[in-house]
Structures are given as structure tokens and as C-alpha cells.
Amino acid sequence: MTLASHLKKQGLANNTRTKYESIIAQVGDRDPVSWLENRLSSKTPIGTVLPLRAAVKHYLLSEGYSEDDIGMMLPKAKGRPSGVRDSLTPDQLATYFLAAEEREEPVRTILLLLPRTGMRISEVCNLRTENLVRHGGVLGLMFRGKGDTERFVPLSTAAQKVLRSYMDEYAPDGWLFEGRAGPITPHAVRMHTRAMRENHPELGELSPHTLRHTFATQLLRVGTDVRRVQALMGHKNIETTARYLHPDAAMLRDAVEELE
């Protein structure tokens, strides 16, 4: 089985498949395990190490190796732990929403939805009009997320208002957010977040993924339990969710103030 066929069968997102194929293309005719070993270092960010290891693992699976064999062949992932990714503070989020309002459609609506839904940028960009449904009497988005698993994200009152306003004005049919040839691409949206970051340095390292962290932090701020956060974020493992749940400076300050 080719690597491309294997990755598609695994239900991986298009961006993930493209990334893994690009990594394996760098291996060329070299032994992939040796190639990987030469790139592992305690100084390399773990966020860089893990995709390299995952790509080689999938390549070996496509070549017919078993999970057990691969577990013994591949070196353990080692690297420098990633730093804590800051989410936007309430004041930064207010600035962000004002800046997002100035963007052209459909980017404006996408940017307004990201911190209100916690969805991955690829998930939002690939929404279709039929993904907007009522589930158990709750209006939200039902779609196939990471790992090709079905996921439901309820829409808050504010998110519903944003999306309804967009749909009433543009009446999309098929892809919810049209691009030049098919759905709008994550790259097109990231171009806007980079521009917003340049125009508003106070937003820090703004990116679609920062907005996903912001959503999780907001849930933590209002006391949402971790299992519900896990479901809303679409994580298979609660350990993944835990990486998103770090109190921001304001929350730590409030905790100290409660001692007074």
C-alpha cells in the first residue's frame, strides 16, 4: 500500500497527510529509522519531534510492518518540552473581536467563530451548510473532525448571531465558506491573523491555534469540568486536553485575591 493510500485510509486530515508525505519525501532513499534518529535531540522542541516520528511510523505501517515491530524499531520521542502557549486575555480578546470585524468575508465570520467554538482551523474551513443542525434540540455544528470522528459543537448565542448574519447575507450553498476554488483554505485565514498580529502587536503571537487555546481557557475560567472541555475540543485523550488547560495570569491573580 502506498503511503498516500494508507494515510487516507487512516482518516487523517488533508493538512496532516500533506505534512507527513512532505516529511517522508525528505528521507529519500535513506533508511527512515536512521534518518529519524539523526534528527532527534533533547534540544529540539517536542512539537517538532512528534510529527517526524509519526510520519516515519505511518510510512512503516504502509510498508507492512506491525505496530509491535515499529514500537521496537523507532527511538523514543525526546525533545525540549514546548513552552506554554498563551491564550488571549479578556482585554486582548475584546481587541481581537474589533480587529476581526474589519476583515472581509468570509474570513470575518471565521475569525469571529474560532474563539467561540474552539474548532480547528481546518475543521471550520471545510464546513458545509448541512453541518449546521439541531442535535438534541441544540443548534450547533455536526461534522467529521480529526481522525474522521463525528463531532458536535454547540453554538453559543453570540456564535449563532454571527453565523446567521453571514448566512442571511451571503446564502452559501454547499461549502459554508467559499474560497477561489472550493472551500477557503486555512492558509488564507492565517494570512489575515498574521496581518492582525502586525497591526495589533498587543495581540502577541496570534494564530488560529491561539484562538483554540483561548476557547479552552474561557471554559476553564467559568468552571467547566475537564470531561466537557475534552468533548468540546474533540480530543480522544484527556491528556491532550490537559495541555490546553492552564490558568492565565488574570486567573492566578484572582486565586490569590481570594485569600485576602
SS3 151: strand
- pLDDT, position 241: 75
Those residues whose C-beta lies under 8 Å from the C-beta of residue 205, and which sit 6 or more positions away, are 85, 86, 197
In the block, which residue shows the cell 502557549?
Answer: 85
Copy the grid coordinates of residue 103: 476583515
- The rounded distance, in Å, linking the Cα atoms of 248 and 253 is 9
Mean pLDDT for the chain overall: 86
In this structure, CATH architecture of domain 90-255: Orthogonal Bundle (1.10)
12: confidence class by pLDDT, cuts 50, 70, 90: confident
Instruction: Return the pLDDT at 215.
Output: 92
- List, by residue range, all CATH 1.10.443.10 domains of the chain: 90-255
Out of 85, 190, 197, 209, pick the active-site residue. 209
Q: Which of 199, 240, 187 is nearest to 100 (CA)?
A: 199
Q: Given pLDDT bands bounded at 50, 70 and 90, which one contains residue 11? A: confident
pLDDT score at 80: 53
Higher pLDDT, 13 or 174: 174
Query: Is the pLDDT confidence value at 133 over 90?
Result: yes
Establish whether 58 is a catalytic residue.
no
pLDDT in tens, 221-246: 888 888 888 888 888 777 777 777 76
Q: Can 197 be counted among the known catalytic residues?
A: no
CA dihedral 108, 166, 122, 80 (to 10 degrees): 40
Catalytic, 120? Answer yes
Residue 127 corresponds to which cell in the numbers above?
A: 464546513
- 77 vs 112, residue with greater confidence: 112
- Cell numbers 487523517 correspond to 12
pTM: 0.66
Active-site residue identified among 57, 58, 116, 120: 120
